Chains A and B, each alone.
Chain A
Amino acid sequence: MSSILRGLKEVKNYPSAMVGLAIIAFLVVLSIYTVITIPYSEAVKLWRGADQIWIENPRFARPVFFDWFTPKKLARTIIVDSRNNPNAKIVNQYGEDVEIIITLEFDFLYDEFPTEITLFMNKQIPGSDMYATFYWETPDGRRINLRRGSIKTRDSYEISQDTALRRRLGGKDAHIGLFSAGDDKKPLKGKYRLVIEAVSFDPEDDLDARLIVYGTIHGIAGTDHLRRDLKIALFWGAPIALIFGLLAAVGTTALTMLIAAIGVWYRGVVDGLIQRITEVRMILPTLVILIMVGMFYSRSIWVILGTVVVLGVFGSGIKVYRAMFLQVREMPYIEAAQAYGARGGRIVFKYMLPRIIPMLIPAFVTEVPAFVFLEATLAFLGISDPVVPTWGKILYDAQSKGALYMGHYYWVVIPSVLLIITGLGFSMLGFALDRIFNPRLRRM
């Protein structure tokens, strides 16, 4: 054991190993931060996106940092709510009738058109009749008639979807037509106003409105087609990738080694059985079996992990370890142990396994990314836990919504970079450990 500790202390002499360690430390810190700040149940709920949790987010928004690298000022989402601004609402009583005028005012100072405009309304008394006229006022003093109609208790007016309005704007989408001053290259900057003039025949009635002008950038990671903040999946992808990769790598390498050692020690039928299982398993395609398990049995991440470990155990690794153990088995100290009456179990655990463990450590560190990638591959193929947000799942969504074709490359690049960084970190550390623990690669 102390030789392992000594080896680990040597890591600091290898700069690449230190970089790898720094990357792994970053991923670990990110994972801990994520698990604490966004609890698992919360993340699952957010990622499912029920109850219009994400309604205030734009679709296909790029990450905010895109703004730093362009001279243009990219549009952010603007939310104006009449409840937050007492001056926005004027209520006039005319006997039995009530007139409510809501003015939602905002400054638009971006060099880009917004992507969508939606108005959400909340009426006080259900069942009463309320009629309203909607106007749009631009900074250059134009007043555009948007719509006239009745308002339901919980109503929304998707201004960008209003086909009648689009026709009046000369075939332009509302979020372009309402913001342009003639040419459609640049929006007009300044103060915009949305005015609602509502009349109700119930004196107790009241109305609140919230205008959302969706921008083109959002959050540190952007959003997807369901307006979900990709941050959730990018952050949660880290602990899941680490846990999956580590458990699969540790499980596979440790079990492979143990089974190989048992086979070598007891030989005969035991060894034969292990070798035949391994040979049969080696001609079966792993990915296809995993896809079948995912399709027909369960997509739970634990079932997939278990399948990966079982398939990984009876792989080529067993042959490699068997070759090593066959050498160890014939060493005099094993025979000596037999001579003083050590039994099979003791010889396997105390004499054979410790001899190979130093060689196992680099192998298992370099195998972690292989399993992280496998998880991403499965998710990309649609075989992943339906509730858990992972990096592979982002890539799956991006692929199925044609992200690259539509130019939403942030959607593909960020999770890919995280995957690559994870692989890089473990590989850099693993190769350095290999040099430390494998005497033939050691340099003086």
Chain B
Amino acid sequence: MVRNGVLLDVKNLKFYYQTKRGIVQAVDNISFSIRRNSSLVFIGESGCGKTSLSKAILRLLPRNVAEYSGQIYFDGVNIMEYDDEKFRREIRWKKIAFVPQAAMNVLNPVLKIEDQLAEPLLVGGLAGTKGEALEKVKETLRVVGFPLQFMKRYPFELSGGMRQRVIIAMALAAKPDLVILDEPTSALNLLTQANIMNELKRIKKEFGLTSPTMLARPARFLKT
């Protein structure tokens, strides 16, 4: 059932947590769809299940899952039917990339920026050698406006905004069809937030074909 231009079609997705005091219905029967080259924004107060939704789409499940069901059609294929290994190999990062919440801490503190960026490419088999991966890394870093002379630095030597750019570059490096941004600017000040947001808009346009579709959670919007 391929609908024209629909990239992601989520139907009756349920994602419940088991706790000592009963079941938490974090994602309860949610259905939505996103077309190619478009964005969809989820806004909600904290604890309403935005992060759970993004994790449910990427199947990053915690230990205490009570229920996980529904259909997720990606490009017309129900990826809920994939087994874990197939899902890991074919969907994660190659089709759907993810910028997690509190993205500042997402970088491995013992890897240099270039090694960190090469990791997803090497893990996913998108680059045969490290040199090849580094070439792709440079390309994406240029896109996000990250100065290339900082590539040999460690994450703790970078500012928050820079780290954010690195993470966005990491999500883009594998040229995915869909990018889930889980509160991508939460830990940054307003000015940098605006900067990154503009940057994201520009990237979305530039990438054209493989334009990332966004699922953002700008918490600040609620407060102001």
Contacts and interface: CB of A to CB of B under 8 A. Distances in A.
Interface of A: 1, 3, 267, 331-333, 335-343, 346, 350-351, 354-355
B40 interface: no
Contacts of A1: 110
A341 B110 contact: no
12 contacts: A332-B102, A333-B109, A335-B106, A336-B107, A336-B167, A337-B123, A338-B60, A339-B97, A339-B98, A340-B98, A340-B123, A341-B123
A419 B123 CA distance: 49
Interface in B90-132: 92-93, 97-98, 100-103, 105-111, 119-120, 123-124
B61 to A, nearest CB: 10
Contacts of A338: 60
Interface in B129-172: 154, 167, 170
Contacts of A3: 110, 154
B58 interface: yes
Interface of B: 58, 60, 63, 88-89, 92-93, 97-98, 100-103, 105-111, 119-120, 123-124, 154, 167, 170, 174
Contacts of B170: 336, 340
Contacts, number: 66
B120 A341 contact: yes
A340 B169 CA distance: 13
Given A333-B108, A354-B110, A355-B109, A341 B102 contact: no
A contacts with B: majority SS: helix
B120 A340 contact: yes
Given A267-B63, A335-B60, A336-B100, A341 B106 contact: no
Contacts of B108: 333, 337, 350-351, 354
Contacts of B154: 3
A102 B3 CA distance: 120
A335 B54 CA distance: 13
Contacts of B123: 337, 340-343, 346
B120 A332 contact: no
B106 A343 contact: no
A340 B89 CA distance: 9
Nearest to A355: B110
Contacts of B63: 267
Contact of B92 (A339, A346, A354, A355): A339
Interface centre among B108, B109, B120 (most CB of A within 10 A): B108
